[in-house]
């Protein structure tokens, strides 16, 4: 069975946002090249400071090249390995830290996060699911794929079709079934002054 985990919101928000969540149960159904193209295109049109577009991506599609996919898989933490085992596509997210006039781009991570989330929402719009991951060995990935020094490894995004939660390991199934939670709005949003709840 596949689960839906709509956000419980105080006021309505767009269904792309409300329905998006990060499942661990994926099936191995392939993601098409056209779909991957659309994900990258969505990311490409993200806004960025000075329009520097610091985001970079590497697509690892198990169907295209199982060997390179396995090299990425080997960098994952053991708990991530357990659920990524079925995932057909991993996308590496990188930020170019070089800014204007030889300065560091202080907005590189911020902008790259925006592009990554555009990609995630486009996946949702296509009926796919995307689950971002930080639990992997960044320096191993950087070395294995000869990522230049100016490029910062940010995250991986698992992309595919949602699978049967019954097939997950017990501890992962418990997480899959747990309610999604968020801080309350008055903790994260203020009016006029710091600490004055919205
Ligand atoms: C940068 C980043 C790193 C993450 N790393 C992991 C990870 O290593 N393993 C994992 O299972 N989920 C990871 N997640 C998913 C978060 O746990 C998840 O987004 C959060 O719990 C909220 O749940 P939701 O996306 O279903 O709303 C990560 C998410 C982000 C944005």
- Residue of the nearest CA to atom 13 in ligand 1? 133
Confidence of residue 141 (pLDDT cuts 50, 70, 90): very high
Task: Report the nearest-CA residue for atom 4 of ligand 1.
Answer: 133
> Cα(123) to centroid of ligand 1, in Å?
16
Query: Which domain does 89 fall in, by range?
Result: 28-160
Q: What are the E-state strand segments in 26-160?
A: 55-61, 89-96, 129-133, 151-160
Q: What is the pLDDT of residue 8?
A: 94
User: Is 111 part of a structural domain of the chain?
Assistant: yes
Stretch 45-62: mean pLDDT = 98
Q: Predicted confidence band at 194 (pLDDT cuts at 50, 70, 90)?
A: very high
The per-residue pLDDT for 2 is 85
Tokens of 159: 């992309």
Q: Whose CA is nearest to atom 12 of ligand 1?
A: 133
For the beta carbon of residue 169, count every other beta carbon within 10 angstroms.
13
Ligand 1 atom, smallest distance to 22 CA? 26
Burial of 160 (0-12, 13-18, 19+ CB in 10 A): buried
Closest to 132 in 3D by CA, of 99, 87, 166: 87
According to the model, what pLDDT value does residue 85 have? 95
* Residue bearing tokens 């555009």: 118
Q: Does some domain include residue 180?
A: no
Question: Which pLDDT value is given to residue 1?
Answer: 77
User: Looking at residue 114, what DSSP letter applies?
Assistant: H
φ and ψ of 59, to 5 deg: -95, 125
pLDDT of residue 152: 98
Enter the tokens of residue 161: 């079709």
* Structure tokens that stand for 71 in this block: 């090299």
How many angstroms does the Cα of residue 33 sit away from the middle of ligand 1?
Answer: 25
Q: Is residue 9 part of a domain?
A: no
SS3 159: strand
Note whether 58 and 95 are within 8 A (CB).
Answer: no
Average pLDDT over residues 13-17: 97
Q: Among candidates 4, 22, 2, which has minimal Cα distance to 167?
A: 2
Question: What CATH number is attached to the domain comprising 147?
Answer: 3.40.109.10
Q: Using alpha carbons, list the distances in angstroms from residue 137 to 47, 98, 146, 154.
A: 29, 23, 14, 11
Is residue 190 in some structural domain? no
pLDDT of residue 125: 98
Q: Is the pLDDT of residue 70 over 80?
A: yes
* pLDDT attached to residue 35: 98
Look at residue 83 and give its three-state secondary structure.
helix
- Mean pLDDT value of segment 138-151: 98
Q: Per the domain annotation, does 171 fall within a domain?
A: no
Would you say residue 78 lies in a domain? yes
pLDDT in tens, 19-50: 999 999 999 899 999 999 999 999 999 999 99
Residue 10: inside a domain:
no
What's the total number of domains in the chain?
1
Mean pLDDT over the full length of the chain: 97
| Mean pLDDT score, 95-121 | 97
Nearest ligand 1 atom to the CA of 7 is: 27
Strand runs (DSSP E) across the chain, as ranges?
55-61, 89-96, 129-133, 151-160
Residue 51 has pLDDT above 90, yes or no: yes
**Does the residue 11 lie in any domain?**
no
Contact 136, 76 (CB under 8 A): yes
């Amino acid at each position: 069975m596949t689960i839906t985990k709509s956000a419980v919101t105080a006021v309505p928000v767009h269904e792309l946002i409300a329905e998006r969540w990060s499942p661990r149960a994926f099936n191995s159904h392939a993601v098409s090249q056209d779909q991957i193209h659309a994900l990258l295109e969505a990311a490409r049109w993200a806004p960025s400071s000075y329009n520097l577009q610091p985001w970079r991506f590497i697509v690892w599609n198990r169907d295209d090249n199982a060997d390179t996919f396995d090299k990425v898989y080997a960098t994952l933490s053991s708990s991530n390995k357990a659920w990524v085992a079925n995932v057909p596509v991993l996308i590496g997210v990188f930020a170019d830290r070089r800014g204007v006039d030889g300065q560091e781009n202080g907005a590189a991570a911020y902008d790259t996060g925006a592009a990554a989330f555009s990609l995630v929402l486009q996946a949702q719009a296509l009926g796919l699911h995307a689950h971002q991951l930080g639990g992997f060995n960044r320096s191993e990935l950087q070395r294995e794929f000869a990522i230049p020094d100016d490029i910062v490894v940010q995250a991986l995004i698992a992309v595919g079709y949602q699978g049967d939660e019954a097939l997950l390991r017990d501890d992962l199934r418990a997480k899959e079934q747990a309610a999604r939670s968020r801080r309350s709005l008055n903790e994260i949003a203020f009016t006029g002054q710091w600490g004055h709840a919205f």
